[in-house]
Amino acid sequence: MSDWLNPSTLDRVEERRTDPAWVEALWAQPASLVLTVGDAAVAVAPEGGLDPRPTSGRFDPERHFLLGLVGGRAWFAQGGEHGLTSLRSIMDGLAAADLQVAFTGVGLATWHATSAFCPRCGSATRVVSGGQARLCEVCGREQYPRTDPAVIVAILDGDDRLLLGRQPSWAPGRVSVFAGFVEVGESLEQAVHREMAEEVALDLGKVTYLGSQPWPFPRSLMVGFSARALGTAFTAAEGEIETARWFDVPELRSAMASGEIVLPPHTSIARRMIEAWLAGTLTTPSPRT
Ligand SMILES: [Zn+2]
């Protein structure tokens, strides 16, 4: 789970972006780039990879959102609708820095597109801090991009088998580890225990933190854990989990090779958790906790 566990390649310039003149001057620099993004979609070059363009024309703080600096060069995002490509369909091919920019741009632009009005008084808001916030000038409330935490859990049994399941809406053959949103007033660990009780009726021992990553569909923060099930008998929640199954490593490799099952995309934390388990490097709780 390397890239998301290290310092970001994107410098978000939190200290300076509150100065509108500084942000506008950054837009005017010849090296600065703007990436067109939409709902879960980005501008992609014909040969693949992101297709940012040099910034040009007049800076519009309502449309041009500063993502930050990558290697000293400014990246902006702007909303668009036409000629974009699904981010999910290309994200496995993006380099780490481009993935960071694309996830930030899509998440930010989606938030702006749905946050035009003040949640307190209903008045129209305007963009401030180079796109990092919106201000209501009627009541003075500032609002910031929201991130919704979700837990994602690799459940192991006493023999280190991994439980994978599928939701009815997924593409044929797709299986994954289990995930769910954190509810108000709940800790991440409590969410893990609750979700696994709801989805597969399993009690868990100690829950171990693995790492996290953003997931801008539309604005999740996925927080990964491993946990040991206290038993192996599970019941898949009707309507929520279509099937579930314990795998050992050879069984999963064989099911992947035959095409019987399909794993989530490589850029997902779910995939990296499953790959770590396959490689024997997943951090797992001891069997007796
Ligand atoms: Zn207001």
Residue 27: closest CA among 62, 70, 75, 72: 75
Domain ranges of the chain: 2-114, 148-279
- Give dist(CA 95, CA 83) in Å, integer: 22
Q: Rounded to the nearest whole angstrom, what is the distance from the C-alpha of residue 135 to the centroid of ligand 1?
A: 8
Q: Rounded to the nearest whole angstrom, what is the distance from the C-alpha of residue 147 to the centroid of ligand 1?
A: 21
3-state secondary structure of 7: coil
pLDDT surpassing 50 at residue 160: yes
Q: Rounded to the nearest whole angstrom, what is the distance from the C-alpha of residue 285 to the centroid of ligand 1?
A: 47
At 30 the pLDDT is 97
pLDDT surpassing 90 at residue 283: no
At 289 the pLDDT is 47
Average pLDDT over residues 242-271: 96
- Give dist(CA 191, CA 33) in Å, integer: 40
Domain 2-114 and domain 148-279, same fold? Reply is yes
pLDDT surpassing 70 at residue 221: yes
Contacts for 251 with CB less than 8 Å, ≥ 6 apart: none
Q: Rounded to the nearest whole angstrom, what is the distance from the C-alpha of residue 122 to the centroid of ligand 1?
A: 6
pLDDT surpassing 80 at residue 87: yes
Residue 187: both structure tokens together: 């800790």
pLDDT tens for each residue of 174-191: 999 999 999 999 999 999
Q: Rounded to the nearest whole angstrom, what is the distance from the C-alpha of residue 110 to the centroid of ligand 1?
A: 20
Residue 110: closest CA among 65, 72, 159: 65
| Mean of all residue pLDDT scores within the chain | 95
Domain spanning 2-114: which CATH class is it, in words? alpha beta
Q: Rounded to the nearest whole angstrom, what is the distance from the C-alpha of residue 40 to the centroid of ligand 1?
A: 28
The rounded percent of the chain whose pLDDT value lies above 90 is 94
pLDDT surpassing 90 at residue 112: yes
- Give dist(CA 36, CA 44) in Å, integer: 9
Quickly state the pLDDT bin for 3 (edges 50, 70, 90).
Answer: confident
Q: Rounded to the nearest whole angstrom, what is the distance from the C-alpha of residue 150 to the centroid of ligand 1?
A: 29
Q: Rounded to the nearest whole angstrom, what is the distance from the C-alpha of residue 59 to the centroid of ligand 1?
A: 26
Write the CATH number of the domain with boundaries 148-279. 3.90.79.10
> Could you report how far apart the first and last alpha carbons of the chain are, in Å?
24
pLDDT surpassing 80 at residue 203: yes
Q: Rounded to the nearest whole angstrom, what is the distance from the C-alpha of residue 251 to the centroid of ligand 1?
A: 56
The rounded percent of the chain whose pLDDT value lies above 70 is 98
Quickly state the pLDDT bin for 81 (edges 50, 70, 90).
Answer: confident
